[in-house]
Amino acid sequence: MHVPTKILLAFLFLTAIFTASSGYSLLKHHAVATELRLISRGYLKMAFTIVEMRTTQRLQTVQLENLIEERDEAFVRGWITSVRRIRPIVLSNLKSNVDDLLTLTSQPEERAFLLSVKNKIEETQALYATAEDDYQVLFALLDEGIGPEAEEILKLLRQQEEEIASILRHLQNISVQRITTVTARSEQAETRTLWMVSALILLTVSIGLLTAYMIHRLLLPLGELRRGVEIIGKGNLDYRVNVRRSDEIGQFASQLNLMAAALQERDRRLILTERLAAIGKMASHIAHEVKNPLSSIGLNTELVSEEAREIVDEKRRGEILALTTSISREVDRMTSLINHYLQFGRPPKPRKADTDLGALVAEVRDFMAPEMKSAGVRIDVRAPGEAVVAGVDRDQIKQVMINLLKNAMEAMDDSTARSVRLDLEKSADHAILIVSDTGRGMTGEEREKIFEPFYSSKKGGSGLGLPLTRQIVLDHGGSIEVESEKGVGTTFEIALPLS
């Protein structure tokens, strides 16, 4: 997963937790506020209204008892009439209040309670309507005079008023109980909400700290990367960034290390090329100065040999001829070495042309087979069935393969299993030449020096073969790598661009 994606997901997760905490807090706050509105706007108002109606109801009952005995009958009748007119209005307002509360809450428990209250109110309204008819009859009888019928109506009205008082008393009790219940429930909800919100806040803070720590750890290697860039930028190409990650930061660190290694290799090759150029110029100059006297020595040695053959004394003649032969051999060896120096100092530029490397490998095998057979070395050649064509200087690449095969053959002087393998492979854009032997191999220190001029582990070697081979490969835009293990063998791998 990419680093920006990880950071984005971390912030999204933290945002989700914060949103959930805030949403939960808002929902619980709304629930508690709804409970408080039920109490303040509904149940308290309902309780006060019912208490007021009960007080009026008790006075109504008292006035009804004193209706006949009261001397000021007009006042009593006026008071009763006023109550008869007001209490249906108050009861209707109470019913409207209950209807408003039903729209305010969606809790099943509260709705069941409010519906039961509404039923009681409707029952009381029915009693009010019945009592109103009886009051009208009673007052009509009173206008005509007290009689048995008025007594019966009065008795019936007392019973109705008692029934109404009973309903109002019941409504008062349940409304007070409801206020107590809702208040207790609100307090419990508030306590639960407080604890839950505290837990959510703690969780949010913990996750926030954890997210910050994870992002800190995620971005911590950037400091090491910055330090590595500064050190490598100052020229210390041996420095490597120690970041073991599989994300973009780790990949960037790996690429930075690869870049430092590539720059280091480039500098090494540049230094080696400059050294080779300087040595080549010096070698060319020395070889040029030595070649002419050496030619004279060789010519004079041949003249001495011709004159020595005319000496009569056989012993003396043999000594002189042996000496001149040794001198000629050394002169030939020095001439060959000087030719190497001259070739190394003035390497010819490759004259590239499309060449079938498979055919060239077969030609080199046939050329080297007799010499290897006489040395007891088996050569195996492997090449693809299709043609492998590359733009190379045919003679120079042939020289490269011959040099490597001769080095391989000479590295197996002390080996019991003597075999050399010459492989030709083809990749997407390169031809690969591989020369492997089962010789004595090299140590790591020797492997680092084999391309340096004049370094040779062979007795009598000039130390110019492999540097010249490497220079030819580089002039072709290719690369040469070597793998070796002491006592096991050596493998050279050359990559040449395809046509």
Contact criterion met (CB below 8 Å) for 475 and 347: yes
Radius of gyration, alpha carbons of the chain: 58
Percent share of the chain, pLDDT over 90: 1
Query: How is 351-400 classified by DSSP, letter by letter?
Result: --EEEEHHHHHHHHHHHHHHHHHHTT-EEEEE--SS--EEEE-HHHHHHH
The model's pLDDT over 315-336, given as tens digits with 9 standing for 90+, comes to: 777 777 777 777 777 777 667 6
Q: Which two tokens stand for residue 492?
A: 């050279």
What CATH number labels 353-497? 3.30.565.10
Residue 143, SS3 per DSSP: helix
CB 274, CB 321: distance < 8 Å: no
pLDDT at 286: 65
pLDDT tens for residues 207-228? 878 878 877 777 777 777 777 7
pLDDT value, residue 287:
62
Cβ pair 408, 490 in contact under 8 A: yes
Which of 83-87, 266-270, 435-439 is the least confident region? Answer: 266-270
Mean of the pLDDT values across residues 46-51? Answer: 84
The confidence band for 292, taking pLDDT boundaries of 50, 70 and 90, is low
Identify the three-state secondary structure at position 495. Answer: strand
Report which of residues 336 and 438 the model is more confident about.
Answer: 438
- Cβ-count burial of 104 within 10 angstroms (0-12 exposed, 13-18 middle, 19+ buried)? middle
With contact defined as beta carbons under 8 Å apart, do 117 and 174 qualify?
yes
Which token pair is 490? 């050596």
What integer best gives the mean pLDDT of the chain? 78
Look up residue 106 and give its DSSP letter: -
d(CA 27, CA 29): 5
Tell me how long the chain is. 499
| Maximum average pLDDT range among 247-251, 477-481, 485-489 | 477-481
For residues 244 and 462, which has the higher predicted lDDT (pLDDT)?
Answer: 244
Measured between alpha carbons, how far is 316 from 433 in angstroms, rounded to an integer?
A: 55
Question: CATH second-level architecture of 263-345?
Answer: Orthogonal Bundle (1.10)
Amino acid, res. 295:
S
Which of the two residues, 312 and 439, has the higher pLDDT score?
439
Its pTM stands at 0.43
What residues does 354 pair with on adjacent strands? Answer: 391
pLDDT confidence of residue 245: 67
Measured from the Cβ of residue 79, the count of other Cβ atoms closer than 10 Å reads: 15
Question: Phi-psi bin for 413: left (phi > 0), alpha (psi -120 to 50), beta?
Answer: alpha
pLDDT confidence of residue 200: 77
N- to C-terminal Cα separation, the chain? 40
| Residue 29 or 471, more confident | 471
Q: Which pLDDT does position 103 carry in this prediction?
A: 83
Distance CA 362, CA 387 (A): 12
pLDDT at 49: 84
Angle between helices 44-65 and 148-219 (to 10 degrees): 170
DSSP H helices, 105-240, are: 108-144, 148-219, 221-233
Residue range 189-198: average pLDDT?
79
CA atoms within 13 A on the CB side of 168: 24
Over residues 220-238, mean pLDDT = 77
pLDDT in the model for residue 312: 62
| Distance in angstroms (rounded) separating the CA atoms of residues 96 and 227 | 78
What number is the average pLDDT over the span 9-23? 75
Q: What local confidence, expressed as pLDDT, does residue 151 receive?
A: 77
| Other residues' Cβ atoms within 10 Å of the Cβ of residue 43 | 28
CA distance 200 to 69: 72
Distance between CA atoms of residues 391 and 404, nearest Å:
20
Q: Any idea where the domains of the chain sit in the sequence?
A: 3-218, 263-345, 353-497
pLDDT score of 164 more than 60: yes
Give residue 285's pLDDT. 60
Q: Which helix (H) or strand (E) holds 422?
A: strand 419-426
pLDDT at residue number 323:
78
Range with the lowest mean pLDDT among 87-101, 286-300, 413-427?
A: 286-300
d(CA 146, CA 192): 66
DSSP-assigned states of every residue in 183-195: HHHHHHHHHHHHH
Return the ∠ at Cα 187 (arms to 182 and 192), rounded to 5°.
Answer: 120
As a whole-number percent, the residues of the chain with pLDDT over 70 amount to 81
* Residue that is written with structure tokens 């050569």 in the block: 379
Degrees to nearest 5, angle at CA 366 with 364 and 367: 60
Q: What are 213's two structure tokens?
A: 């720590």
Contacts of 432 (CB under 8 A, 6+ apart): 423, 424, 425, 426, 493, 494, 495
pLDDT at 357: 87
DSSP codes of every residue in 22-68: HHHHHHHHHHHHHHHHIIIIIIHHHHHHHHHHHHHHHHHHHHHHTTT
Amino acid letter for position 170:
H
Output 338 or 485, whichever has higher pLDDT.
485
User: What's the CA gap between 467 and 454, in Å, rounded?
Assistant: 9
Per-residue pLDDT at 153 exceeds 60:
yes
Task: Pick the most confident of 233-247, 260-274, 331-345, 472-486.
Answer: 472-486
